[in-house]
Chains A and B, each alone.
Chain A
């Protein structure tokens, strides 16, 4: 296990459900990220938080809502998702937003939307 943890590891939800993904980093990093990894597609950056402030939102649908209450915790709130949202959702952190030393990823949450 890395210094970035994610819960739950697996999630199955219906299109009308509301759920949240949680990420916690124990590395003292200042930046946190949400990525989506779908089969046969490159990693897609969804959100970037730097010092608890959202600095980037890559045209993500509003059914995904991030929250960063402090520099160690990051949430992704999900509601009225679509089956095409089924994917591996990865949280990552880096020392600084300019990412000079790369990112450390959590184990991911495998999401299935029925």
Chain B
């Protein structure tokens, strides 16, 4: 079983819609979770991190964490063409050391 999995893309949504990106992870003891955005030809950019079960909102972005079900999701409200990018889920599976595993990414395309 892969350690961090993301829903296969590409995902296409119309402008103004909600984009939903999902991520599951294998290590039940994982403590911290991150979402990165990577534009084509650019490096990853941290957009959200979450540690506790529930929702965390930041502007148009909402991260949702359910540790019991071992999934974390990212919702993008009022999607814009500028949101078109690959979204990487990263899970820190360590406690006293850095063992951050990245998922393969989901490509999102927002259609004007």
Contact = CB atoms under 8 A, between A and B. Distances in A.
Given A42-B102, A42-B104, A42-B105, A99 B44 contact: no
Interface of A: 2, 31, 33, 40-43, 45, 48, 55-56, 88, 90, 94, 97-108
Given A55-B97, A99-B32, A107 B42 contact: yes
Nearest to B100: A99
Q: Interface extent on B, as a size class?
A: 20 to 34
Contacts, number: 57
Output the residue of B34, B98, B101, B105 with the most chain A CB within 10 A.
B98
Given A42-B105, A43-B88, A102-B34, A31 B46 contact: no
B61 interface: no
Contact of B43 (A97, A101, A102, A106): A106
B42 A97 contact: no
B97 A56 contact: yes
B69 interface: no
Contact of A102 (B49, B104, B105): B49
Contact of B100 (A40, A45, A101, A105): A45
A106 B34 CA distance: 17
B104 A41 contact: yes
Given A56-B98, A90-B43, A106-B43, A101 B49 contact: yes
Interface in B92-112: 92, 94, 96-98, 100-105
Contacts of B4: 42
Most buried by B among A31, A41, A105: A105
Contact of B45 (A31, A33, A56, A105): A105
Contact of A42 (B43, B51, B97, B103): B103
